[in-house]
Structure 1
């Protein structure tokens, strides 16, 4: 098989995958929108507090400082996501992978120190 045909076949495979990756969620959301009941009850909008009477409204405005902590949590959660598979197989990867992970950890620690110096971690 010529190289151009193999390259075209791999591009077709990627294109089909991308079309399916977009089409399946769109079809699923459209079908759920069309098939669900369209009745609104007052109880649907109320806050649920484990069977007790709610103490306030469910529409609470959060201050921006909570989002900073949420973003930092996501940052370090993703760090763990990348560190765990590496830690499982690091003995088979060699020194190059250890150096790459050291650079990755250095960048994350640098980001943490930067956020700390900017005062993002302080509760004001």
Structure 2
């Protein structure tokens, strides 16, 4: 049943793309090629290299976002852990997790990974 449903979904999507390509307008004019969001014409190529610093900040954001998810899950289940008798153990685990991430943040901060003026 799952493969049949997947096949139907793929066929429906492909059918919509083919029909819109066949029935859609194909006339290009200069008005369609103009900038519409900010009103400024594009200058240069859109394919520029981003600084490696951007990727470092992106990875750090994802890392601490995952940390926030784990902390929220722990906080919502803290009473259940206490009722099961493993509250202190889980608290120690979460404390160690936060301590390791705090050390990682301190390391990145000391190495200058959070400054933009390079």
Pick the structure with greater CA Rg: 2
Per the TM superposition, whether the score is higher than 0.5 is yes
> Number of paired residues?
101
Q: In structure 1, what is the Cα distance between the partners aligned to 2:36 and 2:10?
A: 26
Consecutive unaligned residues in structure 2, runs of 5 or more: 82-86
Partner of 1:72: 60
Partner of 2:80: 92
Partner of 1:105: 98
How far 1:68 moved relative to its partner?
1.3
RMSD: 3.4
Partner of 1:83: 71
Higher RCO, Cα 8 Å, sep 6+: 2
Q: TM-score scaled by structure 1? A: 0.59
Q: Call closer, same or farther: CA 1:32–1:121 in 2, change over 3 Å.
A: same
Q: In structure 2, what is the Cα distance between the partners aligned to 1:111 and 1:30?
A: 48
Moved over 3 A (4+): 26-35, 37-43, 45-48
More helix by percentage:
1
Partner of 1:54: 40
Q: In structure 2, what is the Cα distance between the partners aligned to 1:79 and 1:122?
A: 22
How far 1:46 moved relative to its partner?
6.6
| 2:20 corresponds to 1:32 | no
Q: Call closer, same or farther: CA 1:74–1:29 in 2, change over 3 Å.
A: farther
Q: TM-score scaled by structure 2? A: 0.62
Q: In structure 2, what is the Cα distance between the partners aligned to 1:81 and 1:30?
A: 37
Consecutive unaligned residues in structure 1, runs of 5 or more: 1-19
